[in-house]
Amino acid sequence: MSRGFNRSSASCIPRAVMDSLTAFAQSKLDALEARSLKRTLVPTRRMDGLWVERNGRRLLSFSCNDYLNLSHHPAVKAAALAAVETHGVGSGASRLVTGDNPIFGELEARLAALKGAEAACVFGSGYLANSGIIPTFVGEGDLILIDELAHACIWSGSQLSKARIVPFAHNDVADLAAKLAAYRGEAGRALIATDGVFSMDGDVAPLDQISAVAQAHDAWLLVDDAHGLGVVGEGRGTAATFPTAKVDLAMGTFSKALGGYGAYVCASAPVIDFIKTRTRTVVYTTGLPPANAAAALAALDVIAAEPERVAAVLSKARRFTRALNLPQAASAVVPIVLGEAGRTLAAAQALEAQGFLVVAIRPPTVPAGTARLRVAFTAGHPDEEIDRLAAAIAPLMGA
């Protein structure tokens, strides 16, 4: 039993004697719980790239972004262990302060080559990347247009920038063009920010059309491809499927298909040099642990050597969508939108009883009324288990 603060212990404290901070937090928790929106961490041990242990039961996970099952790949683990032996556990300080470990330069060169860019910069996480990159290039008097379903870290970075923020309808290029035409003239610099693959819907941004609109209005394009790298475009990411698209800031992470942790952005050499000297989440934070960089390099080796592993992810997702007569999967993620949070939680519990871990996604992660099961596929999911999952979900989709 946890010895930390929990709801049951708080409930034993008369509200009249709670300090104001505790009372505030408890009132918010009570309100969230009443709407089936309170979130709770559940101890879960990942056994390999597919199976987990939770509440004493072994479950097949369809809730992990380890799309290529590389977090447990022998070569990736061996690279991380060797880096720990050679370089130690941590980086010691900011890369600008402690000196730049050569492994970061090697990884950045590899990423730039993969993405067809001049240079790259590694970050500690995807959230640090977007929350740092955006305020580096736009600020007060500038304009940011964001897909309304873009990841939270894009919104955070945009808010930090103090630029004017204008959302556009999801993947709606006409709406984007209209808003650019309406607001571009009032702004100094303009940035368009979107996901490549949307993490909760699994669909893909039309980067060719977005890029054309951006270039017509002298706007820069930032693409967060966290869920595209290693999965779409033969593993090179979303932009690789749109050869005419010009992506000025190509961001992604090591924490999904690459199986590790960290992030990057690829761009022109001057842009990357400017990031390394002025982006606060590079300058004022400790560098990524060398083991994470080594693991990412090893994961990129696997992707290059095993194209069949990359192809398997979409194949597995599409087997599932065929079984349920859903639109063909465009990525590793397939949403089953059920609407109400309570119903979605009950559906996730029903699947867990049948041996599956499928997470319930609720507001504010997704818009109100669109709570869903987020089904994430990996290269290693057995076909027969995908069929069994589809059969288990089918009755849960009814009205």
9 catalytically annotated: no
Position 74 pLDDT exceeds 70? yes
Percent of the residues in the chain that have a pLDDT greater than 90, as a whole number: 89
Per annotation, catalytic residue among 227, 255, 331, 381: 227
Q: How confident is the model at residue 132 (pLDDT cuts 50, 70, 90)?
A: very high
pLDDT in tens, 167-180: 999 999 999 999 99
CATH topology of domain 42-71+306-396: Aspartate Aminotransferase, domain 1 (3.90.1150)
227 catalytically annotated: yes
pLDDT of residue 7: 46
Q: How confident is the model at residue 43 (pLDDT cuts 50, 70, 90)?
A: confident
199 catalytically annotated: yes
Average of per-residue pLDDT values in the chain: 94
* pLDDT (mean) for 281-286: 96
Residues with Cβ < 8 Å from 174, sequence gap 6 or more? none
Specify the higher pLDDT residue, 2 or 275.
Answer: 275
* pLDDT (mean) for 34-61: 89
DSSP 49-72: SSEEEETTEEEEESS---TT--TT
* pLDDT (mean) for 83-111: 94
Per annotation, catalytic residue among 256, 316, 331, 381: 256
Per annotation, catalytic residue among 61, 199, 211, 255: 199
pLDDT in tens, 179-234: 999 999 999 999 999 999 999 999 999 999 999 999 999 999 999 999 999 999 99
Give residue limits of the domains in the chain.
42-71+306-396, 91-288
First CA to last CA distance, the chain: 38
Q: How confident is the model at residue 2 (pLDDT cuts 50, 70, 90)?
A: very low
pLDDT in tens, 285-343: 999 999 999 999 999 999 999 999 999 999 999 999 999 999 999 999 999 999 999 99
CA distance 265 to 133: 9
Outline where 146-256 has alpha helix (H): 152-161, 173-183, 207-216
CATH topology of domain 91-288: Aspartate Aminotransferase; domain 2 (3.40.640)
H/E element holding 249? strand 249-253
> What's the predicted TM-score (pTM) here?
0.91
Residues with Cβ < 8 Å from 61, sequence gap 6 or more? 46, 50, 51, 52, 356, 357
Q: How confident is the model at residue 37 (pLDDT cuts 50, 70, 90)?
A: confident
pLDDT in tens, 231-255: 999 999 999 999 999 999 999 999 9
pLDDT of residue 3: 40
